[in-house]
Amino acid sequence: MSNLRVLFVTPEAYPVMKTGGLGDVSGALPSALHQAGVDARLLLPGYPAVLQQTHSEDTGIHLALFPGINALLRLGTMPDSHLPVYVLDCPGLYQREGNPYTDANGQDWPDNALRFAALSKAAALMGTEGIRDQIGFIPQIIHCNDWQTGLTPAYQRYLPGEHPHIIMSIHNMAYQGLFPADMLTTLDLPEDSLHVYGLEYYGQISFLKAGLYYADWVTTVSPTYAEEIQGPEFGYGMEGLLGSRQKQLTGLINGIDYQQWNPATDNYLWETYDADSLDKKASNTRALRQQLKLNESDQPLIGIVTRLTHQKGIDMVIAALPDIIHEGAQFAILGSGDLALEKLLAGLADRYPGQVSFTQGYHEALSHQIEAGADMFLMPSRFEPCGLNQLYSMAYGTIPIVRHTGGLADTVIPVTPTTLDTGTATGFLFDEESPQALFDCVDNALVTYRNPDLWRQLQINGMKRDFSWHRSAQSYIELYRLFTEE
């Protein structure tokens, strides 16, 4: 395996930069590949936090990206895994505090097209003979992630010489990187690339479409989502292209980093526990209630940690929450996003003091504490490419309640007479996209919660599941081998 060399290109990676699940995946998967013997290296934009935390040093390599825009390639290490990371140091594009995609008002940076075209072009250049010889790393695979890296195979197509194979991973089809067609010259792409058989999408440039069209292989983050995106509901206008690439489209389930998400070793918890000491979980529930000013109660506590968007189905939670409270439950909610949804959740917390807690924003410690302290975890997503919180929940003995879509359907085994008999059930699923269906599913979970022996078995079933990145990494290695063993 030592001769397998992969450049993993991403706009974010935990712990140096994270805004969501992509950051978790990009931090954990390359590390798992490295542990499996792959020479995996990251390429990240030179945000201030990345430059500071990777302790990267000047390689002396300058990349001419666009007229008047050059970048210095730096080499450092990730602080937790010590994985090699190349940092694209271009202050005019990346030296900005805060979110890598939006300004302080939540608006997209106006030059995002150029910022992530630069990342894509740098990746393509690192696969060329001149640059790879200078850095002493010759990637066999360039593994791109989401629209921010989608132009990589497009740039590579127009560069001379032999090139690495490119894998394009879709983490969410809803984000497509759409920009005006008249930016083609600015992005240093030829006119013939602006074509239906290329990166053109309804008169615009689509970074994501470029990746889907030009890459050697396309992956997404669950088998069910790989099927869903070939239809009109989840394909977002690209279902035809994805259908034409069906034989080069694979759904691979994400893993979780058990060094970060393990109730037996989690430093954020008030008391650690495992499947053999589940009674200690109750200490975290009591402490979480006290911290969030929830009433002491024997009612089940339902946790939610999410972006507040239409995709996540939070509007259905808001509609069903009063009836769920009436049936006997509490809520601990952490999230940010849509201002109208934030306001409605804050209003529910005011309406049901001691029963509903809403914390606006994202807090790493609190997200761990909710996973450990909650009895149930609710994810009513309209679509969910993979999802990570349902995996965290099972690892923490917190029973997931999810909608039957994408990776949620692939990872949560529903409670049925058959799965109870076989000892495989891990959670509750509902199909219909409605507050009533959500309520009925939660109500079923509340009834089951009143059977302590059965509930304990569901907890243990989930905690015994293996969602390690080691397992996922092996699937990616098998895919890489399709190209490196030709």
Q: Which residues, including other chains, have CB under 8 Å from residue 195's CB and lie 6 or more apart?
A: none
What's residue 2's pLDDT?
Answer: 52
Please give the C-alpha separations between residue 291 and each of 342, 367, 371, in angstroms, as whole numbers: 20, 13, 14
In the block, which residue shows the tokens 């030592």? 2
Residue-wise pLDDT for 35-54, tens only, equals: 999 999 999 999 999 999 99
CA 47 to CA 281: how far, in whole Å? 38
Q: Return all residues near 305 (Cβ < 8 A) that are at least 6 apart.
A: 333, 334, 335, 367, 370, 371, 377, 389
Q: What is the pLDDT of residue 363?
A: 93
Does residue 143 form part of some domain? yes
Q: Cα–Cα distance between 417 and 425 in angstroms, integer? A: 9
Do residue 477 and residue 437 come from a single domain?
A: no
Looking at the structure, tell me whether residues 222 and 289 fall in a common domain. no
CA torsion sign for 164, 165, 169, 173 is positive
- Do 150 and 87 fall within a single domain? yes
Query: Smallest Cα–Cα separation from 306: which of 394, 223, 370?
Result: 370
Q: Does the pLDDT value for residue 20 go beyond 90?
A: no
CATH no. for residue 240?
Answer: 3.40.50.2000
pLDDT band at 21 (very low <50, low <70, confident <90, very high): confident
Residues 10 and 57 reside in one and the same domain: yes
**187 is in which domain, residue-wise?**
5-255+470-484
For 294-380, where are the alpha helices, taking DSSP H only? 314-328, 339-351, 364-373
Sheet holding 428-430, edge to edge: 356-360, 330-337, 301-308, 376-379, 399-403, 428-430
Domain-located, residue 325: yes
What confidence score (pLDDT) does residue 429 get? Answer: 98
Which among 23, 15, 40, 12 is positioned nearest to 476, based on CA atoms? 40
Structural domain includes residue 264: no
Are residue 323 and residue 216 in the same domain, yes or no? no
129 with 214, same domain: the answer is: yes
Question: Does residue 220 share a domain with residue 164?
Answer: yes
Provide the pLDDT for residue 106.
81
Distance CA 186, CA 110 (A): 14
Annotated binding residues for ADP-alpha-D-glucose, written as ranges, equal 18
> Which pLDDT belongs to residue 1?
45
Cα separation, 350 vs 450, in Å, equals 28
Of the candidates 423, 418, 436, 429, which has an alpha carbon nearest to the alpha carbon of residue 463?
423
Which residue has tokens 């992630």? 145
Helix (H, G, I), strand (E, B) or coil at 67: coil
Partnered with residue 77 across adjacent β-strands are 84
Counting Cβ atoms within 10 Å, is residue 225 exposed (0-12), middle (13-18) or buried (19+)? buried
Spatial separation of the C-alpha atoms in residues 132 and 63, rounded to whole Å: 12
φ and ψ at residue 436, rounded to 5 degrees: -65, -45
pLDDT digits (tens, 9 = 90+) for 48-78: 999 999 999 999 999 999 999 999 999 999 9
Q: Is 273 among the domain residues?
A: no
Query: Residues 458, 475: one domain?
Result: no
77, 43 contact by CB (below 8 A) = no
| Number of domains present in the structure of the chain | 2
- Token couple for 27: 């931090």
Q: Find the helix or strand (DSSP H, E) in which 180 lies.
A: strand 178-180
Question: How far is it, in rounded angstroms, from Cα 10 to Cα 26?
Answer: 7
In a domain, 270, yes or no: no
Domain assignment present for residue 180? The answer is yes
User: What is the C-alpha to C-alpha distance for residues 486 and 480, in angstroms, rounded to an integer?
Assistant: 10
Please classify residue 339 by burial: count the beta carbons closer than 10 Å to its beta carbon, then call 0-12 exposed, 13-18 middle and 19+ buried: exposed
Question: Chain-wide mean pLDDT for the chain?
Answer: 95
The pLDDT of 418-443, averaged and rounded, is 96
Tell me if 266 is assigned to some domain: no
Note whether 220 and 290 are same-domain residues.
no
- Does the model's pTM come out above 0.75? yes
**Quick one: 386 and 426 in the same domain?**
yes
Question: For the segment 182-216, what is each residue's pLDDT rounded down to a tens digit?
Answer: 999 999 999 999 999 999 999 999 999 999 999 99
* Three-class DSSP labels, 428-447: EEECCCCHHHHHHHHHHHHH
User: Is the model's pLDDT at 98 over the cut of 80?
Assistant: no
Cis peptide before 15 (omega within 30 of 0): yes
Say what the pLDDT of residue 114 is: 98
Tokens of 67: 């007229």
Are 237 and 296 contained in the same domain? no
Each residue of 462-474: pLDDT tens digit?
A: 999 999 999 999 9
Which residues line the annotated binding site?
18
pLDDT at 486: 57
- Of the listed ranges 46-50, 258-262, 341-345, the one predicted with least confidence: 258-262
Q: Are residues 176 and 322 in the same domain?
A: no
